[in-house]
Structure 1
Amino acid sequence: MTAKQFAVGERLLLAVVFLAGIGTLGIEMVMPRMLAPFFGTSQPIWAVVIGMTLVYLAIGYRLGGLVADRRPDWRLLFQLIGWAGLSCAVIPFIARPILSTAQGALRNVAAGGFLAALIGVILLFAIPVTLMAMVSPFAIRLQLRYAADIARAGRTAGTISALSTIGSIVGTFLTVLVLIPAIGVASTLFLFAGFLVVLSLIGLRDPRGLLLVITVVVLAGAYQLTTGVIKAADCRNCRLIAEFESDYNYIQVAEQEITYSNGVVDRRRVLILNEGLAFHSIYRLKYRETGDPLDLLTDGGPWDYFTVAPYLYPDTDPADVRSLALLGAAAGSIAQQFLAIYGPDTIIDAVEIDRTISEVGRRYFDMADGSPQAPYFTTYNEDARYWLATTDRRYDVIGMDAYHQPYIPFHLTTVEFFREVKAKLNPRGVAVVNAGRPASGDDRLVNALASTMLAVFPQVYIIDTRFNNAIIIGVNQPVGDGIVHFIENAARIDIPALQLVMAWSLYEGRFGPLREFTPEMAQFRPFTDDHAPVEQLIDGIIFSEANKMVR
């Protein structure tokens, strides 16, 4: 080989390695977004994505080295890239049936979501990621063949590894920040498929490679013509009316019909995120007709109880509740109840990290932030803890409903976080946390959060909702016998919606009435920013519940 041929071959090979790195990590970053509608984006699911990607890379590196040693041929390298692209183009067609089947088959099995996600990743992404991993060792072998100089082996391997890594970095940010938000998951996969088969065609310089390009184009067109919704709304008596993919979530809006014992049918809008384990907002459409705060109540769902938390203080009137900061606003259920009960001049600062969810709230849930009907209702699309640290306001109520089912962001569960919350409360303010528990009543998460709050607030109270959730309330200053104050305030208040929720709190809690959480009840060390094993705790609850079902 002449020096000129060597230089051209070396530059082309390095360019291929860089471009292949873009494709490899681009494909990987599609994985969690494709899994999210079925299994969520919890840590175990990310463990599946990262762990199996590393497995595929290890297998691909090994296979690439073996194949390259036996047949160090340029054409074979580009054929591998073309096959990887073609396999990407097939994924959108088979993803939904595979993931739906895996989700349904393992729904009631211990660690079912983890196992189902594992099956999905193995079946969908093993081929393209493994094939793309073969590129780097193959390129090193070809480069050494051109160099014919063992003294350059280390430099060659280092250069190729560095270029592959840089390409992977570009692929990561390009996919997450540009492609998925702009064109969606399936189109991103088709784009990478086309990119890889075109790269293969350039390297092979064989007109027959056009068949791969045409195949990918036909598959992409067929998918756009035949695709429907990503998945049906996974709730009883629900009809899907809209779905969206945001930077953070797969979002569904559904209409649900609830038939009461008297035969009355209640229509409502529900917000469902990702795998659909829970509703994140409910809006009863009857309120549009009546304007009655009673018609915003959700039959004892957790949203209903935030409005009654201030009444643990003695001699509290509705006129005393003038401001709310809501961390985890979703589509505005809690904020709407505050406005309906306490009046349109109530100051509400709602924090929702996902801008698309806020837009969905305005479009489908009549969320009135910034409107003439609610001039002091503002939504901030930021991280809740960052926003709290940077605001200079103080509030009568700071509510936390930042679930990402079934998990809570760990940094919203710690002593340091609750100290920040306490510092932003008015003297007679309250901090309110919505904590989930399974139907069996496993109280570990509730106890851990209450134990942590008790390390910050002088007194902590628990309201059990009519469903499974617990509402944990920390008071900014000692209230004495908060239950007696709550009963006395309930007797004086003349707002029917507040009266009803306060009665539920006292007499209809699923696991007991309103009660104080005392130091003797604490079973957990307070969570801190350094050590907050909330995911491990919730995983333990999930495993326990699944084992009960298996037995």
Structure 2
Amino acid sequence: MEDPRKSMKPHPWLYAFVFVTGAAVMTLEMAASRFAAPFFGTSQIVWANIIGLIMIALSLGYWLGGRLADRYPRWHLLFAAVGMAGLLACAIPWTGPWVFHQLQAGITGTPIHIIVFSFFGILIMFAPPVFLLATVSPFVLRLSGRDVSDLGKVAGALYAWSTVGSIAGTFVTAFVLIPRLGTHMTIVLTSGALIVSAAMGLTAVSPRRWWWSWLLLLVPLVTALGGPRAVKPVQGLLFETETEYQYVQVAALSDGSTALIYNEGGGVQSLRRPGDALVPRDYYSYMTLLPYLSGNPSSDRMEGVVIGAAGGTILHLIDHYDQGSFPGLRLEGVEIDPVVAKLGPRYFGLNPARTPIRVADGRAFVTASQHTWDFAVVDAYSQQIYIPFHLATKEFFSILADHLTTRGVMAFNVNAVSPDSPLLLSLLKTVQEVFPHFVVIRVPDSYNYLVIAGRSPLPTEALRALGMGRSPVSSIAREALAHLWRPTPEQLKRAVVLTDDRAPVEYLTDSMIWDVAGRGISP
């Protein structure tokens, strides 16, 4: 390759160089979210830390790179910076889990700790290589644009190729690298590409002096051959993987239960207790009441759907406890993550022949379905803490209502820190626009509020009759009647109706998180 120092205009190889570095920046940014997820989750707050810190690192890199390029306009400094960025990136899979684990140990349950410690985790592990990569653009421009008459053309071409690299890095990382290789190997591959680019540049500048730079490739090579390290060891781990949507673990708990855990493990998505026991503090248990509230007096045929089925806990409990009273009961679930949808039969007692789970987006599934259900459960969460806004709007509830029988009911699980939560009240006000009759069960010792709503008056007398019995479901019926709650008209007046055009679910959730952090609210 021709020595780039001898050219007044950028050598064509430099366009490939800035392409690679531009791609690496976006790959590291996207990998950061996946790397942090098992420890801190993927909430908007964590994403804000990632994007904000990457932007800060880029800004500082541009600024310092420009100053250094003017003071020390040397090609070897540019290539050395990229090589160092590659080495720092390669260190992430090895040292990152330890660093993030130490930071996670400081989380004491309040969201403010997640905000602070995820900030420092990203700052320590991902900001340094991005900072070094940001020095590339000003350095290349300073060293290539010696003829000021075409400086604009040179700058435009360099920034265009860098941006095209970032675009390629975004799509290739999201659709190819992470799904096929995983986060760790994606970072190692990025490290290798940076080290190769740096070594090519250094040996072009001075083959005798910089030949050894190729030996740096041994670092990512050894890392790759060593295989991925355990991301987040969990006692009793039965299964773990990284899906297109989240980091997933299944673990055996000390009390004999089996739990499905996403990302940082702030909540349990599915739970199978020993003997499939019904427990009052588990909101899943109250779902066994839905067949009795559906208004369908016939036990010969009854259909229900669970949107956000996860590992199938709700499906399994309804099937297990209600099939005797409703022999015609037919259930199906909807889960967007195909990997999670397969875990129910393996770990959570689900019978796929009796309670199949369809892989689809919940709203798209309901819209396209030809079924009419007697009851529907909406228990979908995105990024662990956010209700997907398109499953919480007046338009969605209208679509769902069209797929329910005349006396059918809809159950919606809401996480809220208090009865005054704007998120809870806004959801109730929105539900009331479509389903004028509703009750709310305030699940004891938890943040869960179970909203059960219908277009016809709910047969709560069925719960009272059920509560007279001695079965496990009767016990849950008594608990439900003891924990009924209803908002006042004044509370609902302050709430907003959520629509497809305006549904600030994330804002309402984040506000609630800050409220917890500020006041230390406990369930």
What TM-score, normalized to structure 1?
0.85
CA distance in 2, matches of 1:540, 1:63: 37
CA distance in 1, matches of 2:471, 2:110: 44
Amino acid at match of 1:209: S
How many angstroms does 1:532 deviate by? 2.0
Answer yes or no: is the 8 Å Cα contact 2:301–2:330 preserved in 1.
no
Distance 1:525 1:310, change over 3 A: farther
For residue 153 of structure 2, what is the aligned residue in structure 1? 155
How many angstroms does 1:417 deviate by? 1.6
CA distance in 2, matches of 1:489, 1:313: 14
CA distance in 2, matches of 1:519, 1:422: 24
How many angstroms does 1:35 deviate by? 0.8
After superposition, residues 188-267 of structure 1 pair within 5 angstroms as 188-205=186-203, 206-222=210-226, 224=228, 227=229, 229-233=230-234, 239-258=236-255, 267=256
1:166 equivalenced with 2:141 (yes/no): no
How many angstroms does 1:331 deviate by? 0.1
1:19 equivalenced with 2:17 (yes/no): no
1:279 equivalenced with 2:283 (yes/no): no
For residue 102 of structure 1, what is the aligned residue in structure 2? 103
After superposition, residues 434-453 of structure 1 pair within 5 angstroms as 434-438=413-417, 443-453=421-431
1:142 equivalenced with 2:146 (yes/no): no
- Farther-moved stretch of structure 1 (455-464 vs 527-536): 527-536
CA distance in 1, matches of 2:37, 2:4: 51
Distance 1:325 1:68, change over 3 A: same
Answer yes or no: is the 8 Å Cα contact 1:201–1:210 preserved in 2.
yes
For residue 207 of structure 2, what is the aligned residue in structure 1? none
For residue 381 of structure 2, what is the aligned residue in structure 1? 403
Q: SS of 1:23's equivalent? A: helix
Q: SS of 2:434's equivalent? A: coil
Q: SS of 1:111's equivalent? A: helix
Residues 60-83 of structure 1, C-alpha deviation per residue, up to 9 Å, x if partnerless? 112222222223333222211111
How many angstroms does 1:245 deviate by? 0.8
Amino acid at match of 2:464: I
CA distance in 2, matches of 1:126, 1:4: 30
Answer yes or no: is the 8 Å Cα contact 1:351–1:383 preserved in 2.
yes
CA distance in 2, matches of 1:398, 1:489: 21
For residue 321 of structure 2, what is the aligned residue in structure 1? 341
Answer yes or no: is the 8 Å Cα contact 2:334–2:360 preserved in 1.
yes
Distance 1:140 1:495, change over 3 A: farther
How many angstroms does 1:339 deviate by? 2.0
Distance 1:53 1:362, change over 3 A: same
Amino acid at match of 1:414: T
Residues 327-386 of structure 1, C-alpha deviation per residue, up to 9 Å, x if partnerless? 1000000111222234376332311111111122232223222x3xx1xx3322222122
1:357 equivalenced with 2:340 (yes/no): yes
1:297 equivalenced with 2:267 (yes/no): no
Instruction: Tell me the number of residue pairs that the alignment of Structure 1 and Structure 2 aligns.
Output: 509
Select which of 484, 487, 491 maps to 1:514.
Answer: 484
For residue 183 of structure 1, what is the aligned residue in structure 2? 181
- Farther-moved stretch of structure 1 (534-543 vs 412-421): 534-543
Amino acid at match of 2:246: N
1:538 equivalenced with 2:516 (yes/no): no
1:421 equivalenced with 2:400 (yes/no): yes
How many angstroms does 1:87 deviate by? 0.6
Residues 424-473 of structure 1, C-alpha deviation per residue, up to 9 Å, x if partnerless? 111111111011234x6664433222122112112111112233211101
For residue 466 of structure 1, what is the aligned residue in structure 2? 444
For residue 33 of structure 1, what is the aligned residue in structure 2? 34
1:386 equivalenced with 2:356 (yes/no): no
How many angstroms does 1:6 deviate by? 4.1
1:311 equivalenced with 2:292 (yes/no): yes
Unaligned runs of 5+ in 2: 204-209
Answer yes or no: is the 8 Å Cα contact 1:25–1:172 preserved in 2.
yes
Distance 1:126 1:402, change over 3 A: same
* RMSD after superposition: 2.7
Distance 1:312 1:161, change over 3 A: same
CA distance in 2, matches of 1:347, 1:133: 57
1:455 equivalenced with 2:433 (yes/no): yes
Identity %: 34
Unaligned runs of 5+ in 1: 259-266, 287-294, 508-512
Distance 1:336 1:214, change over 3 A: same
